Chains A and B, each alone.
Chain A
Amino acid sequence: MEALAVQILKSLVSGLLMGLVFALVALGLTVIFGVMDIVNFAHGEFLMIGMYTTLLTSPLLGVDPVLTLPLCVLVGAVLGLLCYHGLIRFLLRGPMIAQLFGTFGLMLFLRNMALLVMGSEPRIIHAGWLVGKSFAVGPNVVLESTKLAAAVLSVVSFLVIWWLINRTKVGRALTATSLDAEGARYMGISTERMNALAWAVGGASVAVAGGLLVNFWPVEPGVGLLFTMIAFATVALGGFGSVRGAFVAGIIIGLIVNVPPVWDALLRTIDAVGLKNLEIHSLKYTMVYAIYFLIMVIRPQGLFGWKQ
C-alpha cells in the first residue's frame, strides 16, 4: 500500500513536470493559431532548431548552455518572421487545407535542411549547469533539474504571454485580430503586423523551449515529430487559440502519460497476475489520443476554446 502511495506521488510530480514541458512546447502553437487560425505543422522543427542553436553556440561562445537562451529567443523570432513573410502570408489567401500543407512542406524543408547540414546522428550536450543533475525530495521523489527549469520557464512564459495578451495595447490588438481580422483592419490595426508578431512570439517561445530541453534530450533532425503530435493534441484539447487551455491540457496530458507506473504499482499491491500482460506502457500515448478524442466528442470546441 505504501509503495502505491509513493508511486502515486512520484507520478504526480513527474506528470506535473512533464505536463508543464508539453505546455511550454505547445504555447507557441496556440498563440499562432489564436491570431490567424493556422495550424503550424513545422512547429516541432522550430523546437529542433532551438535545440541545435544551443548545442552549437554554447561551445562556440564558451558559455553555459543556459546562457544561450536569449540567442534562442532571437533565432526563433527571426525564423518566425522569415516563415511568415516568406510563406504564411501567401498561404493565408487559400483554404485551410492549403495552409496545412504549406506548413507541412515547411516541415519537410526544415527537417531535411537540418539532416543535410547536421547529419542524422543524435547529439547531446555533455556539460552544463543543468546537465545530468537531479535531486531527491522526500520519499524518493526525484526532480530532474532540466525538467524543473523547463517547468519554471513554462510557468513564466505563460504568465508573460497572458500578460501580453490581456494587459497591453498590443495584446488587445492581437485579440482583436484573432476575433475579427476585418473588423480590426477597419479599426486601424495593421493585421499584417499582428500576424507577423504572433509568428515571432510563437517561434521565440518554442525555440527557447528547445534551447532548454537540449540539456536533457538528445537532438536529431527528426526530434520535432515527437513533440509535434503531443503539441497538437495539447492545443486542440485546450481549445485552439486558448493560452489558458494549452496550460491545463498540457498538464492533463503529462499526468496521463505517467499513469503506467501507478498501474504497475497497483498490480504489485493487489498481486493481480492476470492483468500483468496488458501492454499499458506501450499504449501510454494511445491513451492520450483516446482520451483527447473522447473529450473532444463531448466538448467539440476544446476545454477552453471559444471558436469552433
Chain B
Amino acid sequence: MEAIRNAFDFTDLPRGEMIIAALALLFLLLFPVLPHSSFAMATMIQFLMFSLYGMGWNLIGGYGGQVDLGKAQYVGIGAYTTALLMIRLDVPFWYSLPVGLALAVIWSFIIGYPLFRLKGHYFAIATIATSLVLKDIFEVWNFVGGARGLEIPLKGNLPNWLYLQFKQDYYYFYVLLAMFLVGLIYVNGFRHSRLGFQLRAIKDNENVARSLGIDAHWCKIKAYATATAFVAAVGSFHACYNFNIEPEDVMSLDLSVLIALMAMLGGAGSMWGPIIGAAILVPMKSYLGDWLGGKAGMAGMDLLLYGAIIMFIAAVQPRGVYGIVEALRARRRR
C-alpha cells in the first residue's frame, strides 16, 4: 500500500517542475489532435520509446551508478519473444508482452549475477561484450530467423488492438503514452523505495553502504532486472510498431550506447533526466538527419554536429541538462 501511495506522490517535487510536467503531459495527451506533420508524430513515438529506455537505464545507470552499455540485448529479447509468439503461435501482443518481460528478466538475473562482480569500466565493457555475444548468437540461430530477422505479417481489418497493428500512428502513440505514464509512476515510486535509497547509498560509497548492512550485489541485480523490464517492454512494442526486426537493428551496440547516452545527457540519476535527454536528442537527430542527410556533399554533417553537441554537454556539465537546470536553480536560491 505504502509503495503504491509513494508512486502517486509527486508532492515533494518543486512547484516549477510540477507545473512544467503537467503542461508537458497535457501537450503529450493533446499532441495527436494538434496539427502536426507525420514526421513529427514518428519523432514523438521515437521520443517516447527512448524516454522509456532511458527511464529503465536510469534505474541502474543513474540511481545505481553502474554504467550499463548492454541494454540492447533485452530490447532484442522482448522484441523477438513478441515476434516469434505472434508468427509461430499467433499470440496477441498483450499476452506475449509479459512473456517477453519474464524471459528478459530471467536472462538479466543469469547475466547480472556474474556481471556485478565487476566494477567501473570493467563492468561497462563487460556489458557490451554480453550484448554482442547474444546478438551474434541470434544472427546464426535459424529458429529466430538468423541475421535475416523476422517479419510480422499484416493482419486484415486494421486497427487491430489485440495484435497492435494500426494504420495511423496515433494509435501507437497512445499505447506508448500509456506505457510511458505507467513507467513514470513506477520510477516515481522507485525514488522513495527502499531499493532506491539503497542504490543511491551504493553509488555514493559502496563500502559504507556495505558496512550499513546493504547487500550491494543483490541490490544491483534487482535494479538491473527492473531496468531490463522497462527495456524489454519497449522492445516488444518495437516489434509490433516496426513489423520487422533484425539483430542488427534491435540488438546493436549503437542502440545500447544511444539508450545510455540520452539518459546521461539529460541527467543520470534524476527522474526527469532521461526524458529531457530524449526530448532533446531524438528530435535533434531526426531533424538534423532530415535537413542535412539528403543534401549532396553533406554526408556525415548531421552526426558531426550531433557528436559536437554531445562533447559540449559532457564537458560543460557532466550531470547533463538537468544538472544545468539544478545549477541555475541553486544560483537563484542564493
A contacts B directly (C-beta below 8 A): yes
Contact of B67 among A97, A300, A302 (CB under 8 A): A97
In contact, A289 and B314 (Cβ under 8 angstroms)? no
The answer on a CB contact under 8 Å between A286 and B311 is no
Given A95-B318, A96-B121, A115-B299: A292 and B310 within 8 A (CB)?
no
Which residues from chain B contact A104 at a C-beta distance below 8 Å?
257, 261, 307, 310
A264 within 8 A of B: no
**Residue pair A109, B314 in contact (C-beta under 8 Å):** no
Residue A164 at the chain B interface, CB threshold 8 Å:
no
A163 at the interface (CB under 8 A from B): no
Q: How near does chain A come to B183, taking the closest CB pair, in angstroms? A: 21
With A97-B67, A104-B261, A296-B118 already in contact, the answer to whether A232 and B304 are too (CB < 8 A) is no
| A30 CA to B178 CA, complexed, in Å | 46
The number of residues on chain A lying at the interface, defined by a beta carbon within 8 Å of a beta carbon of chain B, is: 52
Stretch from A53-61, A86-94, A141-149, A196-204 contacting the other chain: A86-94
B314 and A286 within 8 A (CB): no
Closest to B312 in A: A105
Contact string against A for B residues 118-137, beta-carbon threshold 8 Å, 1 for contact and 0 otherwise:
11111011101110110011
Point out the residues of chain A lying under 8 angstroms from B312, CB to CB.
105
The answer to whether the Cβ of B30 comes within 8 Å of any Cβ in the partner chain is no
Closest to A107 in B: B307
- B309, CB-defined interface residue at 8 Å: yes
Complex-state Cα separation, A107 to B254, whole angstroms: 13
Answer whether residue B264 sits at the interface, using C-beta atoms and an 8 A cutoff: yes
Bound CA span A108–B313, Å: 14
Taken together as a complex, chains A and B put the C-alpha atoms of A308 and B118 apart, in Å, by: 8
Closest to B129 in A: A289
B184 CB within 8 Å of chain A:
no
Q: Which of A69-120 contact B (CB under 8 A)?
A: 87, 90-91, 93-102, 104-116, 119-120
B121 touches A108 (CB 8 A): no
Q: Looking across the interface, which residue of chain A has its beta carbon closest to that of B130?
A: A293
In the complex, are the beta carbons of A109 and B304 less than 8 A apart? yes
Q: Please tell me if the beta carbons of B67 and A233 are within 8 angstroms of each other in the complex.
A: no
Contact, CB under 8 Å: A116 / B304: yes
By CB atoms of chain A within 10 A, which of B132, B312, B315 has the most?
B315
Q: Which of B120, B128, B300 contacts A96 (CB 8 A)?
A: B120
Which B residues between 276 and 330 are near A, CB-CB below 8 angstroms? Answer: 298-301, 303-304, 306-312, 314-316, 318-320
CB A106 to nearest CB in B, in angstroms, measures: 6
B265 at the interface (CB under 8 A from A): yes
- What residues of B have a CB within 8 angstroms of the CB of A109 in the complex? 304, 307-308, 311
* A3-B87 Cα distance, complex, nearest whole Å: 46
- Structural contact, A116 and B114, CB atoms closer than 8 A: no
A residues with a Cβ closer than 8 A to B are: 33, 37, 39, 87, 90-91, 93-102, 104-116, 119-120, 221, 229, 232-233, 236, 240, 279, 282-283, 285-286, 289-290, 292-293, 296-297, 300-302, 308
Q: Can you list 13 A-B pairs, Cβ within 8 angstroms, ordered by A? A: A97-B61, A98-B264, A98-B318, A101-B261, A101-B310, A108-B307, A110-B307, A113-B300, A116-B298, A116-B304, A229-B132, A290-B133, A300-B119
Which 9 residue pairs across A and B have the least CB separation, nearest first? A94-B318, A108-B307, A105-B310, A115-B300, A98-B318, A109-B307, A102-B314, A105-B311, A112-B300
